[in-house]
Structure 1
Amino acid sequence: MMRFTYILIALLIGTSSCNDFLDTKPTDFVTPSYETVNDFELALAGVYDILGNRTFYGDVWPYWLNVSTDIEYTNTGSANATVYIYGPAEANVTDFWKALYTGVYRANLILDVVDGTDLDEDSKNRIKGQALFLRAYYYFMLVSNYGDIPLYLSAKPSINEMDVPRTPMKEVYNLVVTDMLEAEQLVDEVEGGTTEKTVNFGGRISRSAVQGVLARVYLKMAGYPLMDQSKYADALRWALAVKNSGLHSLNPDYTDVFIKYAKDEYDIRESIWEVEFYGNTQGAMQEYTYYIGARGGIRTQDAELGRSGGLINGSGKLFDLYELDPNSTAVPLKDSYDLRRDWNLAPYTYVGTPGVKTPNNDRWRRNMGKWRREYEVVSPKDISTSPQNFPILRYADILLMAAEAENELNGPVNAYPYINEVRRRAYGLLLPQPPNPNVNADLSGLSKDEFRQAIRDERAREFCFEASRRTDLIRWGNFVGDMKAYITWALANGGVEGHVLGSRNVSDRNVLLPIPTYDMSLNKALTQNPGY
């Protein structure tokens, strides 16, 4: 789903890119003329548009680069990038790099000129804040995935400096933080806030989105590879800024968070920032995702339900992370107190056309059920793509980031309320009629190390299939070790080799992506990451 205005604007700029800027040696450059608010809104739409590109959240990021971890896998059995078989010439690695730098370039087009315009200060600040934040976010994605990277802080390259060396990671992170801190003061609050204008849908940057992503950036800086543990205090401060604003809360029903994405409904109290998708490949206004449909979803060939290849499954490890109801009489798999299990891991597939719901009792082969095409309202449904939005930042993440940072700083005593709020929702205790009203969802009495593990398990249960597990494992500092340990666990607990292909291929080099060969051929100052 997508706000129609922004789709139309994105279409108008969609054919322009910074490929010439990144891929050739410029001899001249003409900066576009931006004078009115509408001119800048058009330009901003181009910066936002990168998020929904197939080479970013539309496919490459959630599927090709993040589908294989210890809690999720693709069942294709293919030897490709989904299982960490890639090198510097890999198309998905190259396209991801190019998409992010295209976003940087488009943001720079705005930042180069906005301060010198005659716009009123409120409009100028609002535009500048969004451009600053999006540039910083694209640089955050670049530095956290490629390590040291070239920095471009202007859209007008110098013809005397063709070979731009990689800037050390720490300096890039410092720039990301600096830009986000400035943006936080410039963008609007969400609906109910104190700014003159407010944001009422998750597809546009709000102050809460900036604050929440700042918490995420600081958590990354506190972990691998910078290991600057002083950043836990910053992470906690910004997570609590969102919580204490009073502008956000958990949707009482976990499943409704994702049904809303299918039904084209916004809930900015829970879904703070999301990638907007719209369309069914028919007509002019469209930007759709392949992650749901061609790749993931509950397997079916029924076009009315919404076809899905069912290529993405949860692992047996993920299934076992959800607490069983000891009183359950269900066989062969007991029910879980945690209502997230049978939503995230679909307990059925559809057989035949029309699709007949058929139980799936194999805990190792349950399809990703988090996004269910049966709830989509766009008609007819495309056979390979979906218009469902993808969350970048949910309020549950704010709470779990606060819990993680608080525990690292002071131990778990004051961190319990944050994680337990997430767990109470998961166990249905926030519903008007809880299915198990007497169940105790709260954690207590844990050591600091035990609470750290509890956070890691809770993030797996809450954010599975949202492209966060690999990056979490990396920042926690034992990505390769955890993936290799998973092989032993899986094969001893009902898994087979097809479930651990990604883990088999992981090595130390995979904490970073390779610098694309094509760009190294153009920029002679680039060096390659270790192992490639």
Structure 2
Amino acid sequence: MKKNWLSYMLVSALLSGALTSCSDSFLDLKDRNHFTNENFWQNKADAESALATAYSPIKYQMNGYYGAFDGWLNLNSRGDDIFTILNEEASMWDIANFQNSATTGNDPYGALYSGIQRANIVLKYIDDVPASGITESDRITIKGEALTLRAYQYFLLVNNYGDVPLRLVPSSEDDPNKTASPAAEVWQQIEKDLLTAINDGNLPENRPAEQKGRIEKGAAIAILGKVYVSQYKYKEAKELLKGFINSSYSHFGTTGKRYQLMENFVDNFTTANENNAESVFELQYSSDGDLTWGNESGINLGSSLAQFIGPAKSGGWAKLMPSAFLVSEFTEETRGNRPTIQDENGDWVTNPDKKAQPDSKYDKRIYASLFFTPDEYGDWVSEENGWYDGKFYGGLFTMDDLWTGNASKMAGGAPIFNVRQASGGAQVGKFLLKKYTAHYVKSKSADNMGNPEGKANNVRIIRFAEVLLLYAEACAKEGDVVEANWALNQIRQRAGLPEKECAQSELMKEIEHQCLLEFFGEGHRFDDLKRWYSTLQIQAIFKENDKQGASNFREKHKYYPIPAGEINNSSVEQNSLWK
């Protein structure tokens, strides 16, 4: 897939320029060495190349919605599960502290409209491809894929900006002075696009290896489920997601259906297990290309996440840390007692009568999410593959190495991690962000963008775990305690936690807890809080959890302001909350 995606991306800049400038004089040109609508839409390969460009604004290496710089950093910095390092990026700091404005940093608003424009172009011109160049089945599939991409990028826009212009045809045919549509109309169009793609789009349920990363039917359904939940349409979400789960889900370790939770949580965040059975929508990155900073130049196709968030000792920039609140939630629930006994010499040995005892003290997800030294907190887990060099103790980097390597970063402030102890009281600890670092690469500079394996790691946008937790939320809101507990216990079982039966009054608290731990560092937390709580409630939660800038949080901060550059060059008005 990654080699094919590379070839698609190489035409991206040409397509985005040539196919968005549809003047009559341009279309009159006959030079076959240049793309025009007249000479381009000849076969399936042309249509798929155009379609590929609609993905790139989501995944731009630096400034895409999930790009490392103004994407990933900002998505995560607004949540109370992340501590943002002072004096790193001015725009990120302003957003983390809710002091941002319409001129803060770069913004994905324009990039998302580029993706929508490209999807609109495909939908407009796909029917120009002659029957000799494409089967009708493939034509319909490409339309379904383009509709899903358009819907998803509109979802990101309306969820982050509120009222936005609704453009359903290429810009050359649209009103250049179009103003924003009410959010309700945008939501309605998103649902329409997704329902058409699901019901009539001929989307495959499982793509072959060389097509992984492209929209499948499951991705369209999961996105629609998220759209329903985001609008509190819980009845529709429950029905949709129940059908999806029943038709596609098998428990880890079983086969026969498309999706399942991976038994090992870390398999969702390494290059070795990309496009696995848990992945519903995954952005493809590659080690191909030179070390450059850019978006879609065709030169750098790698991800920069490890560079931005990895520890300084391993070549990263360490711009984010886990919050003390997050660590306290991760260590709140333990799995049981240590499976050992003392022999006659007073040494601890394996207890043969306690083979069923847990293999770690804490929730299994903590070991894939955070760097820390388990035995300092009474844990007995062994990380066989270790960090960076394959050795957990006495190897290339100890936790003290990583911590002191970040000392200059933390000089302006860092969380104080108070870990509860069984004997009572708390112990001050050391924890760093591990998820999406290249800790699995055997290199002293694994997190540096120059490391090919680290930069090739895909970003999992929608995992089946999210489908299960969205379903649990919909069931809880619809009063279906049995199904909500079933979904929650699928998540708990994978985390190594005992089964738990929550009463109706306890369900949302458990759902919130599981979402926090499951999606830590994946940019979910802020949107979840925005969906579940009022502005005053969110501010109170932020204050209780020592979120940076908690006192600054206001209703307007539920949204990004529309960038000043967009306001100055169009008829779009600023979101009313930001005027």
Q: With the length of structure 1 as denominator, give the TM-score of the two structures.
A: 0.81
Sequence identity (%): 24
Q: Distance in 2 between matches of 1:517 and 1:356?
A: 45
Work out the CA distance in 2 between the residues paired with 1:517 and 1:25. Answer: 27
What amino acid maps onto 2:55 in structure 1? Y
> What corresponds to 2:164 in structure 1?
149
Alpha-carbon contact 1:84-1:505 (below 8 Å) kept = yes
Residue by residue over 1:18-61, the C-alpha shift from the partner in whole angstroms, topping out at 9 and shown as x without a partner, is: 7997xx99897756331210110110111122221122212222
CA deviation after TM superposition for structure 1 residue 123, in Å: 0.9
Contact conserved, 1:80 with 1:86, CA < 8 A, in 2? yes
What aligned pairs does 1:15-34 form with structure 2 within 5 A after superposition? 17=16, 30=27, 32=37, 33-34=40-41
1:410 matched to 2:423? The reply is: no
Task: Tell me which moved more, 515-524 or 26-35.
Answer: 26-35
1:240 and 1:329 map into 2 onto residues whose CA distance is 38
The answer to whether the 8 Å contact 1:202/1:272 transfers is no
Match of 1:48 in 2: 55
Aligned partners of 1:408, 1:475: CA distance in 2, in Å?
13
Which residue, out of 233, 236, 241, partners 1:234?
236
Q: Distance in 1 between matches of 2:366 and 2:111?
A: 34
Structure 1 residue 423 corresponds to structure 2 residue 507: no
Taking the aligned partners of 1:84 and 1:26, their CA distance within structure 2 comes to 43
Correspondence for 2:126 among 106, 114, 136: 114
| DSSP 3-state at the match of 2:556 | helix
Q: 2:563 matched to which residue of 1?
A: 516
Q: 1:318 is aligned with what amino acid?
A: L
**Unmatched 5+ residue regions in structure 2?**
28-35, 249-257, 292-297, 341-359, 374-386, 404-415, 419-428
* Aligned partner of residue 172 in structure 2, secondary structure: coil
Matched residue of 1:180: which SS? helix
Q: Say whether 1:383 aligns with 2:457.
A: no
Whether 1:7 and 2:22 are equivalent positions in the alignment is no
Do the aligned partners of residues 70 and 38 (structure 1) sit closer, same or farther apart at CA in structure 2, a change above 3 Å counting?
Answer: same
Residue 476 of structure 1 aligns with an amino acid whose one-letter code is W
Question: SS of 2:11's equivalent?
Answer: helix
| Residues 1:252 and 2:263 are matched in the alignment | yes
Match of 1:194 in 2: none
- Match runs of 1:228-307 below 5 Å: 231-246=233-248, 247-259=258-270, 262-263=271-272, 265-279=273-287, 282=290, 286-293=300-307, 295-297=308-310, 299-302=311-314, 307=315
Q: Deviations over 1:246-274 (max 9, x none)?
A: 32111111122223xx33x4344211111
Cα distance change on mapping 1:406 and 1:202 into 2, 3 Å: farther
How do 1:303-318 residues align onto structure 2 when only pairs under 5 Å count?
307-318=315-326
Change (3 A) 1:135 1:172: same
Native 8 Å contact 1:187 1:205 kept in 2: no
Q: Would the alpha carbon gap of residues 347 and 178 (structure 1) be closer, same or farther in structure 2, given more than 3 Å must change?
A: same
Residue identity opposite 2:317 in structure 1: G
1:98 lines up with 2:110 in the alignment: yes
CA spacing shift, 1:311–1:132, aligned 2, 3 Å: same
2:95: which partner in 1? 81
2: CA distance between counterparts of 1:213 and 1:370?
23
Separation (CA, whole Å) in 1 of partners of 2:572 and 2:9: 33
The answer (yes or no) to whether the contact 2:280–2:462 under 8 Å persists in 1 is: yes
Is the contact made by 1:350 and 1:358 (CA closer than 8 Å) also made in structure 2? no
The correspondence for 1:57, drawn from 63, 66, 89, is 66
Cα distance in structure 2, aligned partners of 1:378 and 1:12 = 34
CA distance in structure 2 between the partners assigned to 1:526 and 1:64 by the alignment: 23
Q: Deviations over 1:300-355 (max 9, x none)?
A: 434xxxx222222111221122313564699xxxx64311123212115999x994
1:184 to partner: Cα distance: 1.3
1:27 and 1:517 map into 2 onto residues whose CA distance is: 32
Answer whether contact 2:306 2:447 (CA < 8 A) is retained: no
User: CA separation in 1, counterparts of 2:303 and 2:205?
Assistant: 26
Task: Specify the code of the residue in structure 1 equivalent to 2:124.
Answer: D
1:200-239 to 2 correspondences below 5 Å: 202-222=212-232, 231-239=233-241
> 1:103 deviation in Å?
0.1
User: SS at the partner of 1:413?
Assistant: helix
Following TM superposition, by how much is the alpha carbon of 1:65 offset from its aligned partner in structure 2, in angstroms? Answer: 3.5
Between structure 1 and structure 2, the one with the greater Rg is: 2
Moved more, 398-407 or 180-189: 180-189
**Alignment pair present for 1:320 and 2:335:** no
CA distance in 1, matches of 2:229, 2:441: 35
Letter in 1 for 2:140: N
1:418-452 Cα deviation digits (max 9, x unpaired): 1101110001xxxxxxxxxxxx61121x3323101
CA contact (8 A) 2:335 2:361 kept: yes
Question: Relative to 1, partners in 2 of residues 1:324 and 1:174: Cα closer, same or farther, differing over 3 Å?
Answer: same
Which residue of 2 is the match for residue 461 of structure 1? 517
Instruction: Name the count of aligned residue pairs.
Output: 478
Do 1:7 and 1:285's aligned partners in 2 also have CA atoms closer than 8 Å?
Answer: no
Q: 1:347 aligns with which of 369, 372, 390?
A: 372
Q: Does structure 2 conserve the Cα–Cα contact (< 8 Å) formed by 1:514 and 1:529?
A: no
| Deviations 1:375-420, CA, capped at 9 Å, x for gaps | 2499995724722111111111111111110111124222111110
1:430-445 alignment to 2 at 5 Å? 441-444=498-501
Give distance in 2, aligned partners of 1:122 and 1:37: 11
Aligned counterparts of 2:539 and 2:158: Cα–Cα separation in 1: 22
- Aligned residue for 1:415, secondary structure, equals helix
Cα contact 2:328–2:417 (8 A) shared by 1: no
**How far apart are the structure 1 equivalents of 2:241 and 2:328?**
29
Shift of 1:296: 1.1
- Helix, strand or coil at the partner of 1:375: coil
Q: Give distance in 2, aligned partners of 1:200 and 1:281.
A: 19
Displacement, 1:158? 4.3
| Corresponding position of 1:432 | none
1:356 matches 2:397:
yes
Maintained 8 Å contact 1:376/1:388: no
Q: Which moved more, 1:407-416 or 1:143-152?
A: 407-416
- Residue 395 of structure 1 aligns with an amino acid whose one-letter code is F
Q: How far apart are 1:70 and its partner, in Å? A: 1.5
Question: In structure 2, which of residues 138, 149, 153 is the aligned counterpart of residue 123 of structure 1?
Answer: 138
After superposition, the CA RMSD in angstroms is 3.3
Unaligned runs of 5+ in 1: 192-196, 223-230, 428-439, 491-499
> Which of 374, 382, 387 in structure 1 is aligned with 2:439?
374
Where does 1:148-167 land on structure 2 (aligned, <5 Å)? 148-158=163-173, 161-167=175-181
The Cα offsets for residues 458-509 of structure 1, whole Å up to 9 and x where unpaired, read as 000101111111111111133553243332344xxxxxxxxx3242432221
Matches of 1:358 and 1:214, distance apart in 2: 42
Question: Mean Cα displacement is larger for which, 405-414 or 462-471?
Answer: 405-414
SS at 1:130's partner residue? helix
